Amino acid sequence: MILWGGRFGDGGGSKATDFTASFGFDRRFFSEDISASITHAEMLGRTGIIKKVESEHLVDALGRLRERVLAAGIPDSADDEDIFSFVERELLADIGSVAGMLHTARSRNDQVATDFRLYLRAAAGRLQEAVRTLRSAVLDLAATHPHVITAGFTHLQVAQPVLLAHHLLAWERMFARDATLIDAAYDAADVLPLGAGALAGVAYPIDSGYVAERLGFARLAENSIDAVADRDFVASYLYAAAMTGNHLSRVAEEICLWNSTPYSLITIDDAYATGSSIMPQKKNPDVAELARAKAGRLLGALTGFLATTKGLPFAYNLDLQEDKEAIFTAEDAILPALHTLAGLIATLTVHSERMRELAATGHSAATDLADYLVERGLTFRQSHEVVGQLVQECETRGINLADADLDLLRATSKLFAAESLERLDPAWAVNARNSVGGTAPDRVAAALAAARDQLNAGAAAWKDRPPPLP
């Protein structure tokens, strides 16, 4: 069914709609469309734009249609151009010509923007929930390994010892920032465009306030042209998803590294690993690899959609229909990746001894020895030079700085006394770094508690978002 046949002769649009039809994907916001239409029909009745009894007919039929379609499953395809024509055809079959009153005082342009804003509020909730699941798994892993010391890296070289929990909290902080982006995407979507009509507003005494309240929208669109042209809320979700995917890819990469044979810092549970078709011994981190890869698709959805909207003339153009597949692609990429990686993190095994062993390699105590010499009167530049020579001597002898003895230290500087040897212990390095945001155990314990509180507060704030729809 098409909703615009009148001005066309036979076969109008017959070559166009194969290309332009959107039912195949806008079926995904069928429920949101029904909710918006029920509210619109109620409003038409309350304002007297249509008769009360007609409004009730429409509302009842929309409710019946929802039940019927959701029970049977929304069809994958239909002869209808889009979800709106599908709904109107079904209504027509049920209640006859009254069905044709539903489209009074609205256009598909403000209708689609309304439906999609409703959809995106719920999508933001799904994304927020998935991010929360991942954050929670990371915090749990940190909480169950509060004292484990591991290597901290810069340039993929062992740099300084850190607590594993501290490193895991660095992961979690990225996702905490994503949570604020997702909040922002929700807020961007939380505006009612219905009433904008095609672009100029509508010439009926509509009650936008009633519709906004019923659908739980925080604000009304302030300009009808902007209301049907604006897709910033779509870009906002895509940005949040792309950023989350970007962060997820960094975590996934570290999991691949830590799980690799040379590192052997963790073991992925069998349930989250896969094998090789030729090498019987292989156990591969495919889940982490694929999660890492999704960042590309998510970035593509964002940049692709921004390119689509660039230079678009006002107000509505069918280019904007592309927002749907961008969002669905992004959702389908990010949600399973987050949930699966959360499961992988929740079940992996940490090899604490190997972590500690690695933490002591790479002459990782060098900064602490340099600090020791500063305490004994050298400038940091001087102590850096002295310890650099010490490291060079260790390299020549083929030993690690952690295994140096006092004679070797004193051969480089007489300022080294017996107590300097304790600085070679990775635990010393960790305990000493008590600056704000540092890796000292007390700091990390407090940061872990604060992160958990923040996560719980975020979950509580989302409890009633989005509100239930009519």
**Any residues with CB less than 8 A from the CB of 232 and at least 6 apart, and which?**
188
Of the two residues 119 and 175, which places its CB atom closer to ligand ARG in the complex?
A: 119
Instruction: Report the DSSP beta bridge partners of residue 349.
Output: 267
User: Does residue number 137 form part of the binding site for ligand ARG (CB under 6 A)?
Assistant: no
Q: What is d(CA 338, CA 298) in angstroms, rounded to the nearest whole number? A: 13
Interstrand relation of 157-163 and 349-350 (parallel, antiparallel or unpaired): unpaired
Asked if the bond preceding 151 is cis, omega within 30° of 0, the reply is no
How far is the CA of 72 from the CAs of 58, 67, 75, 80, 354, in angstroms?
Answer: 21, 9, 8, 18, 55
User: Does residue number 109 form part of the binding site for ligand ARG (CB under 6 A)?
Assistant: yes
* Helix, strand, coil abundance in the chain, percent, nearest 5: 65, 5, 30
User: Does residue number 264 form part of the binding site for ligand ARG (CB under 6 A)?
Assistant: no
Binding residue (CB under 6 A) for ligand ARG from 71, 203, 318, 460: 318
Binding residue (CB under 6 A) for ligand ARG from 321, 352, 361, 454: 321
Of the two residues 109 and 160, which places its CB atom closer to ligand ARG in the complex?
A: 109
Of the two residues 16 and 218, which places its CB atom closer to ligand ARG in the complex?
A: 16
User: Does residue number 208 form part of the binding site for ligand ARG (CB under 6 A)?
Assistant: no
In the complex, least distance from residue 123 CB atom to ligand ARG, rounded to whole angstroms = 15
Residue window 66-95: x/- pattern of binding to ligand ARG, with contact defined by CB under 6 A = ----------------x-------------
* Nearest one of 184, 178, 189, 180 to 29, comparing CA atoms: 189
User: Does residue number 179 form part of the binding site for ligand ARG (CB under 6 A)?
Assistant: no
Q: By CB under 6 A, which span of 68-76, 154-162, 295-303, 315-323 interacts with ligand ARG?
A: 315-323
**Any residues with CB less than 8 A from the CB of 18 and at least 6 apart, and which?**
none
Tokens at 417, concatenated: 């006394």
User: Does residue number 206 form part of the binding site for ligand ARG (CB under 6 A)?
Assistant: no
Residue 343 DSSP SS3: helix
| Three-state secondary structure string covering 288-326 | HHHHHHHHHHHHHHHHHHHHHHCCCCCCCCHHHHHHHHH
Q: By CB under 6 A, which span of 31-39, 135-143, 320-328, 455-463 interacts with ligand ARG?
A: 320-328
Contacting ligand ARG within 323-382 (CB under 6 A): 324
* Nearest one of 387, 395, 430 to 411, comparing CA atoms: 387
In the complex, least distance from residue 221 CB atom to ligand ARG, rounded to whole angstroms = 16
User: Does residue number 22 form part of the binding site for ligand ARG (CB under 6 A)?
Assistant: yes
Of the two residues 318 and 436, which places its CB atom closer to ligand ARG in the complex?
A: 318
Of the two residues 77 and 261, which places its CB atom closer to ligand ARG in the complex?
A: 77
User: Does residue number 234 form part of the binding site for ligand ARG (CB under 6 A)?
Assistant: no
Of the two residues 134 and 326, which places its CB atom closer to ligand ARG in the complex?
A: 326
In the complex, least distance from residue 23 CB atom to ligand ARG, rounded to whole angstroms = 9
User: Does residue number 320 form part of the binding site for ligand ARG (CB under 6 A)?
Assistant: yes
User: Does residue number 108 form part of the binding site for ligand ARG (CB under 6 A)?
Assistant: yes
In the complex, least distance from residue 313 CB atom to ligand ARG, rounded to whole angstroms = 14
Asked if the bond preceding 466 is cis, omega within 30° of 0, the reply is yes
Give exposure, 441-458, as e/b (b: 16+ Cβ within 10 Å). bebbeebbeebbeebeeb
In the complex, least distance from residue 112 CB atom to ligand ARG, rounded to whole angstroms = 4
Q: What is d(CA 465, CA 183) in angstroms, rounded to the nearest whole number? A: 10
Q: How open is the CA angle 438-141-175, to the nearest 5 degrees?
A: 65
Task: Report the catalytic residues.
Answer: 155, 276
- Residue 47, judged by CB atoms within 10 A of its CB (0-12, 13-18, 19+), counts as middle
Residue nearest to ligand ARG (CB): 321
User: Does residue number 112 form part of the binding site for ligand ARG (CB under 6 A)?
Assistant: yes
The footprint of ligand ARG (CB under 6 A) covers 22, 26, 82, 108-109, 112, 316, 318, 320-321, 324
